[in-house]
Amino acid sequence: MDLAVNMQSAIAQGTLWGIMALGVYITFRILDIPDLSCEGTFALGGCISAVMIVKGVNPFVSLVIALAAGMAAGAVTGFLHTKLKIPAILAGILTMIALYSVNIRIMGQPNTSLLGEDTAFTQAIDALKLDQTMATLLVGAVISIFVVLCIYWFCGTELGCALRATGNNEYMVRALGANTNTSKVIGLVISNGMISVSGALVGQSQGYGDIKMGTGAIVIGLASIVIGEVIFGKRFNFMYILASVVFGSVIYRMIISLVLYMGLSTDDMKLFTALVVALALGIPAIKSRYSQKRIPGKGGNTAC
């Protein structure tokens, strides 16, 4: 019974984290840039939203502010990478580190409790007479679906095509007259905006904003993407792939919930996640190593 309750809660949490995974998908898979600023922007969203709610701002309005702040942070990474020519991974790290201080400044303290405050979830609970888990699931699912539809639409536009092509082949994109720097900045802005919203939602759902809440976000995002790809495969259309990222996030939360239930210490969680991602990302290499084994034939002499 206890496990079933945990699972329901995990599924609900998975939809909230799924929005972050979609953000990571845009940079990591579409733009082919490993963007570490997401660790900072996830916490940024959580911190901004928490502070604003405590100050009496409507929790849904705080999501919009978190979106804007995340986009601004993405623009900073984009500026560092495209204008100052800093390698993408380092540009992301710089933004992430800078945001650590910014987040403390925003809250004036390392964390902000939302105990007894009105959040997006308490409003959903009151308005629709739901329990905590169902409210989380509803809010998470609605926003995830909205985000998936937005990304699907955007990737079909001229700008979206240029962005996808930039991740594929920059030479070609420039030769065809699109500015690859613009594409990269747009991608980073959208991605970090979404990640910040996800952080705001997770913060509201867990009842506090914390400067450390973004630690490991990139790995969790990657885990969700990879789990989605491994389980659902790259089939059908782009919408299916985007949905599989969210489902990957849900499944990741369920796995976490399960191993915790089975007695894994929360302190070992990050190690466990890292192992899962390393293994999942390494599967193609391991597979090809075994499938490429040469078939013994006349030309070879196995004896020597």
Partner 1 sequence: MLNIIDVHKTFNKGTVNEKKALDGIDLHLNPGDFVTVIGGNGAGKSTMLNMIAGVYPIDQGTILLDGKDISDLPEHKRAYMLGRVFQDPMMGTAAGMEIQENMAMAHRRGKNRGLRWGITKSEKKLYKEKLAMLDLGLEDRLTSKVGLLSGGQRQALTLLMATLNKPSLLLLDEHTAALDPKTAKKVLELTEKIIARDSLTAMMVTHNMKDAIRIGNRLIMMNSGRIIYDVSGEEKKNLKVTDLLQKFEETSGEDFANDRMLLS
Task: Give whichever of 112 and 183 is closer to partner 1, judged by the CB atom.
Answer: 183
Q: Which of 68, 159, 219, 258 contacts partner 1 by CB under 8 A?
A: 159
From the CB of residue 91, how many other CB atoms can be counted at a distance below 10 Å? Answer: 24
The backbone torsions φ and ψ at residue 179, rounded to the nearest 5 degrees and listed phi first, read -85, 115
Residue 172 near partner 1 by CB under 8 A? yes
Task: Work out the burial of residue 207: count CB atoms within 10 Å of its CB; fewer than 13 is exposed, 13-18 middle, 19 or more buried.
Answer: middle
**What is the rounded distance in angstroms from the CA atom of residue 77 to the CA atom of residue 34?**
11
CA distance 79 to 66: 20
Give the one residue of 84, 158, 297, 298 binding partner 1; rule: CB under 8 A.
Answer: 158
Per rule CB under 8 A, is residue 176 in the interface with partner 1? yes
Residue linked to tokens 């949905």? 243
Sole binder of partner 1 in the list 174, 212, 270, 287 (CB under 8 A): 174
Q: Which of 198, 250, 183, 192 is nearest to 13 (CA)?
A: 250
Per-residue binding string, partner 1, 245-284, x by CB under 8 A, is ----------------------------------------
Q: Is 167 in the site for partner 1 (CB under 8 A)?
A: yes
Cβ proximity to partner 1: between 2 and 158 the closer is 158
- Is residue 109 a contact residue for partner 1 (CB under 8 A)? no
Among 91-99, 163-171, 260-268, 270-278, the segment contacting partner 1 (CB under 8 A):
163-171
Task: Give the C-alpha separation, 133 to 14, whole Å.
Answer: 11
| Site for partner 1, rule CB under 8 A | 154, 156-162, 164-165, 167-169, 171-180
